[in-house]
Chain A
Amino acid sequence: MKDRSINIWQAGIFLFIIIFANKILVLPSLLYSGANIEGMFCYLISFLLEIGLITLFIFLKRKYPTYSFSRLVKEKLGIITLKIIYVLIAFFFFCKLILIYNVTYIFFKDLIYKTSGNFLFLICLLPIVNYLAVCDLRSFGRTVQLFFPVILIILLFCVITSFIGIDGMPLFFQSDASDVFLTTIKHTTAFGDVIFLFLFMDKIEFKKGDGKKLFFLSSLAMIFVCLIMLAFYFSYTYTSFMHPYAIFEILGNVKDYGGLGRIDVVAVIIVMILTYLQMGVYLKCFTLSFHVVFPKLSDAYALTTFNTIFLILVFLLIRNLERTITYGENFLPYISLISFVLIPLCVIVFLVIRRNKNGKN
């Protein structure tokens, strides 16, 4: 299906979801075990890199308002480079899909689906995520726009109630700077998904001043991530590394608050919503990349390829928290090079080529 364009608010909400979604579940606990409370600096460093990518996107969009990223790469770097870059991007999003699926599977299995098997999760997730990937981007954009107020209200609720439950604070500055940098590199996989903006480049309506809206929504997501992480560290202080599911745990810490009963179900709901939408965006990106690599093949081929490999990997390889963490910490950081090195490198090359052309003229 040919995608119709989305407006800047919808693009910003996609950005919000992508920045926020995979950083609030297992990451705070992992960062704490690597760098204690200074784990928050890991967030800040990675956020700076993400802001850099968003700035690059805005810069490109202003220079080439009607261009798609693939067209730019093709015109400036040639078709072979284009194919290599898009194969890598498709691989990046595929690996992220595997990671997200495993993390959420383990989370749901641990907490609310104790007796259910993997098949149940696949039945729930795959059809919806596939539908989101093939439906028109504008419909998808409008869907996330409709869910955005719900997400914001739930997040505000989580943050406010969790801060009310806090009665302690861990000590700052217990880790070395090297711990912080090493932990950042180890968990860099959780960042850099903002490169989806480059794939949607020609499908985003962009006017003067729209960059601010993107920065606003991405900053909002980062603020929420930091608030949840702080609430988590302040709730569990020195035992934070023992509590794997941050957003769920912070609400578990304020059980029976205000006569509402167990409110941690709210966290389950938000994780479910975010998982669907996030996986939808990733699969959309995978499909778009697949189209660039194989322009003559339809969506059906992209989805069949994805689903086949995904099912094999999901059934054979992982589904246990330790193995997933090992996969995320040891293998996936390398694929983050695609977003933090390859894409910026491409943009710099475009600019150098442009400058040389201008100089010659």
Chain B
Amino acid sequence: MIFLNVDKKIKTIKKQLHNSFDVVDRVIDMENVKVGFIYLKSFTDNFIFSSAIYEPISNFQGNLDFETIKQLIQANDTKEIEEKDVLNNILKGAVVVFLSSSTKMLAVDIQKFTTRTPTEPPTSPVIQGPREGFTEDIKTNIGLLRKRFYSSDLVLKNLSVGRKTKTTIVIAYLDSVASKKVVKEVEKRIKSIDIDGVVDSYYLMPYLISRPNSLFKQVGNSEKPDIVSSKLLEGRVAILVDNSPMVLTVPFVLLEELQNPNDYYTNYIYASLLRFVRLIGVFLALLGPGIYIALQLYHYNVLPIKYLITIADSTQQIPFTPFIEILFISLLFQILYEVSLRLPSYLGLATSVVGALILGDTGVKAGLISPPAVIVVAIAKIALYTIPEQSAQITVLQFFFLLIGASVGLLGLIGGSIYLIAYLNSLENYHTPYLAPFSPFILKDNKDGLVRASLQNMKERPYSFSNQNHRRQK
């Protein structure tokens, strides 16, 4: 009995796919039944299709019905689908099988494309500790997480975002730890996204936060499965996006940027020292040029006389005002940075040499820029990378404070700092204060704050954000 016209069905699907060149169809015409296959050759494993699907069916001698076909297919991921899901499955790399004697259809997932191996990500290299990094393939990324949790507690929820791209998004969390409220809110926010496409996880960021126009990053991100795993263990929620090696985590606090994976793979006293160094680095990067300019322009009388003489000696021949001088060097650095990022590595090195040695040294010798100004900008720009994840924000603020220091001096710098902190204190996502555990001060969380206690002493999960179970170890 004929329930479905296979040729007509194939024609309809091909039409829906605009007869794209990579749409492949096959038909096996047997005595009283026709079996049709349709898939995208660019996206599916042709070898598996032939050996595990096509050949077993075509070689079968006997009465072929839907249940027999199901048994004959030797692929793992086979499921029955409805009419409305046909296109979706084909577009995700499945082979859709249908036969004339049945209205039921099968989708066999044999998706295949080349992915890179989970190598160490360039953004977070470690001296000790795991070197695996996420890739662009979400299945590989889920596998990297799964192998760190041999527990049913790890929940993975599948969503799809993007009218055109239909990108797979996976929300990962630990069922007994993560706050259900946060999970629900993340899910709600992702479901409410109405966009044509999600090309990378960064596309999701503005939709996950309450102040999308803010300069400051409000969602955590990492390319390393060990970091994401540790965040899941703390009760955070991870968001994996297909085609992106960057996994997002929420709730996010600024302290996370002061922490580095290396801190947990080294002695805790040394790690604490490093955190102080990073904090000093941030301070120097933010305020260094601003303070220098403010002291030089407005408050030279508070400088000790010896420093004053040194600075006056080296700046008296400079034709520019101190502000223009510092601005010039800062912009020069920024240009060199941009160039070295985009040039191939062998040329990047040459640019650095030209920038650092020729421009810097010659500039000083020619009397265009002064050595103290070069030193101040160099320190500030190097210090910027003690927290590379926030370098963009700190760079913007560095120019802002430079301008304030030049316009109104120390009073403006302190006012600007108060404004900045008050603003950061007003940022809250998922009921989590941005500057926690410093303000509001949460004593227990400071065991992994500016100093890091030994792992035996970190018995509880953070109180800075809500989670179901604060006890980590007895």
Contacts and interface: CB of A to CB of B under 8 A. Distances in A.
Genuine A/B complex? yes
Interface of A: 7, 9-10, 108, 111-114, 116, 120-121, 123-125, 127-128, 131-132, 135-136, 138-140, 142-143, 145-147, 256, 261-262, 264-265, 268-269, 272-273, 276-277
B435 A146 contact: yes
B422 A131 contact: yes
Which 8 pairs, one residue from A and one from B, show the smallest C-beta to C-beta distance? A261-B304, A142-B439, A146-B439, A139-B425, A139-B426, A142-B425, A128-B415, A265-B302
B418 A277 contact: yes
Given A113-B298, A142-B433, A147-B421, A108 B439 contact: no
Contacts of A127: 415, 419
Given A116-B298, A261-B307, A142 B435 contact: yes
Interface stretch (B39-47, B76-84, B403-411): B403-411
Contacts of A132: 418, 422
B418 A147 contact: yes
Given A128-B416, A272-B415, 10 more contacts: A112-B301, A123-B412, A135-B426, A139-B425, A145-B441, A268-B299, A269-B410, A272-B411, A273-B414, A276-B415
14 contacts: A7-B440, A114-B301, A116-B298, A116-B409, A124-B415, A135-B426, A139-B426, A140-B422, A142-B439, A268-B410, A269-B414, A272-B414, A273-B418, A276-B415
Contact of A121 (B304, B306, B411, B421): B411
B385 interface: no
B439 A128 contact: no
Contacts of A9: 441
A264 B425 contact: no
Contacts, number: 94
A146 B440 CA distance: 8
B303 interface: yes
Contacts of A143: 418, 421-422, 425, 439
B400 interface: no
Contacts of A145: 439-441
B66 interface: no
Contacts of B298: 112-113, 116
B207 to A, nearest CB: 24
Interface residues of B, number: 30
Interface of B: 298-299, 301-304, 306-307, 407-412, 414-416, 418-419, 421-423, 425-426, 433, 435, 438-441
Nearest to B294: A112
Given A116-B298, A262-B303, A273-B418, A146 B425 contact: yes
A248 B247 CA distance: 52
A112 B419 CA distance: 22
A268 B422 contact: no
Given A142-B435, A142-B439, A147-B418, A262 B304 contact: yes
Contacts of B410: 112, 268-269, 272
A124 B414 CA distance: 9
Contacts of A262: 302-304
Contact of A124 (B303, B408, B438): B408
B283 to A, nearest CB: 12
A261 B309 CA distance: 14
Contacts of A108: 411
Contacts of A264: 302
A131 B422 CA distance: 9
Contacts of B303: 261-262
Contacts of B408: 120, 123-124
B294 to A, nearest CB: 10
Contacts of B439: 142-143, 145-146
Nearest to A140: B422
Contact of B302 (A10, A112, A256): A112
Contacts of B304: 256, 261-262
A287 B299 CA distance: 34
Contacts of A140: 422, 425
A128 B299 contact: no
Contacts of B407: 123
Contacts of A113: 298, 409, 411
Contacts of A142: 425, 433, 435, 439-440
Contact of A128 (B419, B435, B438): B419
Contacts of B307: 261
Contacts of B411: 108, 113, 121, 124-125, 272
Contacts of B422: 131-132, 135, 139-140, 143
Nearest to B409: A113
Nearest to A146: B439
Contacts of B409: 112-113, 116
B109 to A, nearest CB: 50
A123 B440 CA distance: 30
A276 B414 contact: yes
Contacts of B416: 128
A120 B439 CA distance: 31
A113 B297 CA distance: 10
Given A143-B425, A143-B439, A146-B435, A131 B414 contact: no
A224 B330 CA distance: 42
Nearest to A115: B298
Nearest to A270: B414
Contacts of B423: 139
A195 to B, nearest CB: 23
Nearest to B303: A262
Contacts of A111: 301
B388 to A, nearest CB: 24
Nearest to B421: A143
A353 B298 CA distance: 58
A10 B425 CA distance: 13
Nearest to B415: A128
A256 B305 CA distance: 10
Nearest to A144: B439
Given A123-B408, A272-B410, A128 B418 contact: yes
